[in-house]
Amino acid sequence: MAKKILIVGAGFSGMWAALSAARLADKHRDETVEITVIAPQPELRVRPRFYEDDVPTLVAPLQPLFDATGVSFLRGSVERIVPAAKEVAWVDASGNAQRAGYDRLILASGSRVNRTQVAGAEAHAFDLDQLESATVLENHLKSLAHAADSVARNTVVVCGGGFTGIEMAMELPGKLRAILGSNAKTRVVVVERGPQPGSRYSDALREVIVQASAELGVEWLVNAEVESIDACGVTLKDGQTIASQTVIWTVGVQANDLTAQIDAPRDRQGRLHVNGDLQVVGHDAIYATGDVAYAASDDKGNHALMTCQHAILLGKFAGNNAAASLLEVAPLPYRQENYVTCLDLGAWGAVYTEGWDQQVKLTREEAKKVKIAITSELIYPPKADRAIAFEIADPLAPFV
């Protein structure tokens, strides 16, 4: 009888969960394990690069890889999870309602930015959250070349000084010069509610961010919060207004809404609490991974972040352990003790850190080379070769 592993999502975590599960079944020569991925499209959208140019090209096809590794793919979107019946309700690409059963479910449905927190954000702000919305932003920026010269046209406001906000802000001076010309009086402003630029990061990393911002001409408004956004720009809670035709929202990331359909503890971002094997607390047949999992990464109190770095390894462990439970072999408790950051700082270069205390190891062009290697090679899917894919899908294979 077939043993069914159903994976919801084909992002970094979902893709690697599928490959890891297929790897373990192949290792044990068990042909009864069936692995199926449900997602809107059989492609990996390289979300960490959405601040770059040519956003629609930042995808990688997955169907050849799935075909090579024996993973089935269903094009559609899951709308409902029914744990009691071990099934999901989903809608296929033609809009038809479907149902799919499972013996093990791996929820890898990702996250989304929440623009409902501030009045006007949904209607008037742009974001980098999804391929479609990042493409809208890119096209809007290009269209500024045809707009009348004004302070509002030449000013971009980035709401939020986290990694996404910083990488976007640091890229903008160069983008705006290319679009509007080198003589345009452009302005890039980061609105940050913290007391200083990069205040949530280590002193060493923060110093680099401040230096790069100064050299690139990126302004920071700290101890500031957005009150509302409209067609004219941003109003802050202290009453200050910034005229802008381009407001970019980068804060308030939340786990996919499907997590709310599972009766289990969640953190403030909606991530499901999981045990060491990545099983959802109280649901042995359901695994959560990537941005929907609140998972301890070590024994020192650190937890996986909503980054592709963590999603990749979380996916490998979740897929392995879901398959292990069906094959009746020992699982591998999730561990990811090494943590690095590599922050793109536009024309200034980049900064590379190691450890949870974010010790700066490389800056400028040296770090930029590392960043390019990570985003153009390391995080992309493996070749559509069964042996190569399975070797890399091993949760214990070297990563970072």
How does pLDDT run across 257-277, given as a tens digit for each residue? 999 999 999 999 999 999 999
Backbone phi, psi, residue 280, to 5° = -65, 135
User: pLDDT of 213-243, one tens digit each?
Assistant: 999 999 999 999 999 999 999 999 999 999 9
Mean pLDDT of the chain: 97
User: pLDDT of 6-37, one tens digit each?
Assistant: 999 999 999 999 999 999 999 999 999 999 99
Whether 345 has a pLDDT exceeding 90, the answer reads yes
User: pLDDT of 359-370, one tens digit each?
Assistant: 999 999 999 999
Spatial distance between the Cα atoms of 244 and 150, rounded to a whole number of angstroms: 9
Distances (CA, A) of 103 to 4, 201, 323, 334, 356: 5, 42, 10, 21, 37
Whether 258 and 264 have beta carbons less than 8 Å apart is answered as: no
- Average pLDDT score over residue span 37-59: 97
Joined together, the tokens standing for residue 368 give 């930029």
Whether 378 and 44 have beta carbons less than 8 Å apart is answered as: no
- Average pLDDT score over residue span 124-140: 97
pLDDT at 1: 81
- Average pLDDT score over residue span 103-114: 97
pLDDT at 203: 97
Backbone phi, psi, residue 250, to 5° = -130, 10
- Average pLDDT score over residue span 37-55: 97
- Average pLDDT score over residue span 114-138: 95
Q: Which residues contact 81 (CB under 8 A, 6 or more apart)?
A: 8, 88, 105, 107, 258, 261, 262
Spatial distance between the Cα atoms of 74 and 362, rounded to a whole number of angstroms: 43
Distances (CA, A) of 178 to 310, 392, 398: 34, 39, 40
Q: Residue 150 class from Cβ within 10 Å (0-12 exposed, 13-18 middle, 19+ buried)?
A: exposed
Look-up of token digits 């910083």? 166
Residues pairing with 44 in the sheet: 60
Give 399's pLDDT tier (boundaries 50, 70, 90).
confident
Whether 400 has a pLDDT exceeding 80, the answer reads no
Find, among 196, 212, 216, 197, the residue nearest to 351 by Cα.
212
Share above pLDDT 90 across residues of the chain, in percent, rounded to a whole number:
98
Find, among 61, 24, 56, the residue nearest to 41 by Cα.
61
